[in-house]
């Protein structure tokens, strides 16, 4: 008996962010976070507003639900949250996925280590810039990144403003051997007006691209939007 607090299970969809953008995947979103980013687009995982949706599930039950939703039409599962790295017992679920030949992605902010990180195929660490209101503990981050294989790891920093950009650059220059993504920040993650949101986010994407192009210090870097937001807006469960 080792239950995992699950907020939502959805898919198949595509990974909208980062190193495997476009990858067909299922999602498992766990509840609870040690951060409280001002602009978190998944704040229902930690701010109490989604508490009635939380289900305590065994690894086997999550796997059954994934198969119910995705049939045998998937080979990739992305674990996000909240912060899944709060959950030591996700190791059982990770092992179960591996036994079934499923590739695994993980989204986490780099504040906590778990030994099961070593079994993740695509691990995205997303340290938080000043606009989030959170502080990065770089000693913890150094230790986490030091234990991971660079070929399976990427860094992704969300940028809302110039200060965030400076922070992102600092992170990239600290870990130059880790694949690095700048991601457009969605500053209107509640609106249901997808057309105006998409227009606005594309403008912000252009702004971020322009800054990167003009910056000789950022060489080996990738700039991406949240692809799922451009397609589905702020809709949940996609």
Ligand X SMILES: Nc1nc2[nH]cc(C(=O)O)c2c(=O)[nH]1
Ligand Y SMILES: C[S@@+](CC[C@H](N)C(=O)[O-])C[C@H]1O[C@@H](n2cnc3c(N)ncnc32)[C@H](O)[C@@H]1O
Phi/psi region, residue 45 (left: phi>0; alpha: psi -120 to 50; beta: rest), is: alpha
Residue 13 in the binding site for ligand X (CB under 6 A) = yes
| Residues in Cβ contact with 203 at an 8 Å cutoff, skipping those fewer than 6 apart | none
CA dist., res. 135 & res. 128, Å (int)? 7
Instruction: Label residue 71 left, alpha or beta by phi (over 0 means left) and psi (-120 to 50 means alpha).
Output: left
**x-or-dash pattern for ligand X, window 29-48, by CB under 6 A?**
-------------x------
Least spacing, CB of residue 182 vs ligand Y, in Å: 11
Tokens 């980062």, located at residue: 18
**Beta-carbon contacts of residue 169 (< 8 Å; ≥ 6 apart):** 215, 217, 218
User: Rounded to whole angstroms, how far apart are CA atoms 29 and 100?
Assistant: 20
Q: Which of 5, 12, 14, 39 touches ligand Y (CB under 6 A)?
A: 39
Assigned token pair, 183: 């991601």
Site string for ligand SF4, 56-85 (x = CB under 6 A): -------------------------xxx--
Binding mask 209-228 for ligand Y (x = CB under 6 A): -----------------x--
Q: Which residue lies nearer to ligand X by CB, 222 or 228?
A: 228
Q: Take residue 134 and report the two structure tokens written for it.
A: 């959170």
Selected from 4, 6, 9, 15, the binder of ligand X by CB under 6 A is: 15
Give least dist CB 108 to ligand SF4, A: 8
Task: Specify the residue, 67 or 207, whose C-beta has the smaller distance to ligand Y.
Answer: 207
What's the token pair of residue 145? 């990144």
d(CA 47, CA 99): 34
* Shortest spacing between CB 55 and ligand Y, in angstroms: 18
Shortest Cβ distance from residue 83 to ligand X (Å)?
11
Tell me how far, at minimum, the Cβ of 39 lies from ligand Y, in Å.
4
Q: Decide: is 17 part of the binding site for ligand X (CB under 6 A).
A: yes
**Are 155 and 172 spatial neighbours (Cβ–Cβ below 8 Å)?**
yes
Please state, in angstroms and as integers, the Cα–Cα distance from residue 82 to each residue in 5, 56, 164, 194, following that order: 10, 15, 21, 24
Binding residues for substrate are: 14-16, 29, 80
Binding residues for S-adenosyl-L-methionine are: 39-41, 82, 126-128
Report the interface residues with ligand SF4, using CB under 6 A: 33, 35-37, 40, 42, 45, 81-83, 109, 128
Report the interface residues with ligand Y, using CB under 6 A: 33, 39-42, 80-81, 83, 107-109, 126, 156, 158, 183, 185-186, 189, 226
């Amino acid at each position: 008996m080792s239950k995992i607090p699950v907020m939502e299970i959805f898919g198949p969809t595509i990974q909208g962010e980062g190193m495997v953008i476009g990858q067909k995947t299922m999602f498992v979103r766990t509840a609870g976070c040690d951060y409280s980013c001002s602009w978190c687009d998944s704040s229902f995982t930690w701010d109490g507003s989604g508490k009635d949706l939380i289900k305590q599930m065994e690894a086997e039950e999550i796997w059954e639900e994934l198969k119910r939703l995705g049939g045998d039409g998937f080979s990739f599962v992305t674990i996000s949250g909240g912060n899944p790295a709060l959950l030591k017992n996700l190791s059982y679920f990770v092992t179960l996925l591996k036994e079934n030949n499923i590739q695994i992605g993980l989204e986490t902010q780099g504040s906590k280590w778990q030994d099961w990180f070593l079994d993740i195929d695509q691990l995205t660490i997303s340290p938080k810039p000043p606009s989030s209101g959170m502080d990065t503990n770089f000693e913890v981050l150094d230790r986490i990144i030091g234990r991971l294989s660079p070929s399976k790891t990427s860094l992704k920093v969300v940028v809302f403003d110039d200060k965030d950009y400076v922070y992102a650059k600092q992170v990239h220059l600290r870990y130059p051997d880790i694949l690095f993504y700048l991601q457009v920040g969605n500053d209107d993650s509640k609106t249901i007006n997808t057309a105006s949101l998409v227009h606005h986010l594309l403008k912000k994407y252009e702004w971020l691209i322009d800054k990167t192009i003009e910056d000789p210090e950022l060489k080996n870097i990738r700039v991406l939007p949240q692809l799922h937001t451009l397609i589905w807006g702020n809709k949940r469960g996609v």
